[in-house]
């Protein structure tokens, strides 16, 4: 990727700072061929206008973090605390590159706007640090299904409070333990069951 991007820049005669919407669109996921220090030179306004959805294919954790920083500038979307759910949907996997403190501070509606692909891209050590038990319980079914085995294995009992119920559903476990119907399995409980029987 690095060789391809370097060749593209040479042949087009455009610097990294000069990459505009047409060049960014042409590069697509090949932007991951730029080094993190080069990514910092991208025009955040132009980058915001062309958010490639396939960055997951080749970008490292550091590259995702660098690209996410571009999105928090004034010329892009601004501070994460002011983002609506639509922004999280728009940026897709780049949400995985947001700083730990930003992810830890997300409101419930922001959490639910994270795409399942963004959830899956978050490195397991970071995943366990940034999400509280309350945030994890707020995951949708699609988000919970996107949690990787590596992420799941690192969660504490407090973060993942549903016990392993091999052979029976969380709904059944709740009914047996409390003597009354459980309001229904959360997305987190469903995922816990999936890993316990897998």
Tens-digit pLDDT profile for residues 10-52: 888 888 988 888 888 778 778 889 999 999 999 988 888 877 6
In this prediction, residue 55 carries a pLDDT of: 61
Residue 156: pLDDT band with limits 50, 70, 90? confident
Q: Is the pLDDT of residue 166 over 50?
A: no
Q: Is the pLDDT of residue 119 over 80?
A: yes
Note the Cα 7 to chain centre separation in Å. Answer: 30
Distance (Å, whole) CA 91 – CA 76: 11
Distance (Å, whole) CA 190 – CA 171: 9
In this prediction, residue 179 carries a pLDDT of: 37
Q: In Å, how far are 11, 73, 167, 169 from 181, measured between CA atoms?
A: 67, 49, 18, 13
Q: Is the pLDDT of residue 6 over 90?
A: no
- At residue 123, the 3 state secondary structure works out as coil
Q: Is the pLDDT of residue 73 over 80?
A: yes
Per domain, the residue ranges of the chain are 1-78
Note the Cα 63 to chain centre separation in Å. Answer: 13
Contact 167, 197 (CB under 8 A): yes
Which residue would you say has higher pLDDT here, 182 or 59?
A: 59
Contact 94, 51 (CB under 8 A): yes
- At residue 45, the 3 state secondary structure works out as helix
Q: Is the pLDDT of residue 54 over 70?
A: no
In this prediction, residue 158 carries a pLDDT of: 82
Mean pLDDT, rounded, of the chain: 79
Distance (Å, whole) CA 106 – CA 112: 10
Average pLDDT over residues 157-167: 54
Distance (Å, whole) CA 134 – CA 90: 24
Name the one residue in this structure whose structure tokens are 């571009």. Answer: 70
Q: Is the pLDDT of residue 172 over 50?
A: no
In this prediction, residue 56 carries a pLDDT of: 64
Average pLDDT over residues 118-141: 92
pTM above 0.85, yes or no: no
């Amino acid at each position: 990727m690095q060789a391809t991007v370097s060749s593209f820049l040479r042949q087009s005669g455009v610097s990294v700072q000069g990459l505009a919407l047409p060049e960014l669109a042409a590069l697509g996921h090949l932007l991951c061929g730029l080094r993190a220090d080069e990514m910092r030179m991208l025009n955040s306004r132009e980058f915001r206008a062309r958010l490639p959805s396939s960055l997951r294919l080749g970008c490292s954790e550091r590259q995702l973090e660098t690209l996410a920083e571009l999105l928090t500038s004034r010329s892009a979307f601004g501070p994460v605390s002011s983002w609506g759910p639509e922004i999280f949907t728009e940026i897709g996997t780049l949400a995985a590159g947001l700083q730990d403190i930003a992810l830890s501070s997300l409101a419930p509606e922001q959490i639910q706007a994270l795409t399942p692909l963004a959830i899956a891209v978050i490195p397991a050590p970071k995943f366990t640090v940034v999400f509280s038990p309350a945030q994890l319980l707020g995951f949708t079914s699609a988000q919970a299904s996107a949690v990787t085995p590596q992420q799941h294995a690192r969660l504490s009992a407090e973060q993942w409070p549903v016990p392993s119920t091999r052979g029976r559903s969380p709904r059944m476990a709740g009914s047996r333990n409390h003597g009354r119907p459980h309001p229904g399995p959360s997305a987190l409980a469903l995922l816990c069951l999936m890993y316990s029987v897998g």
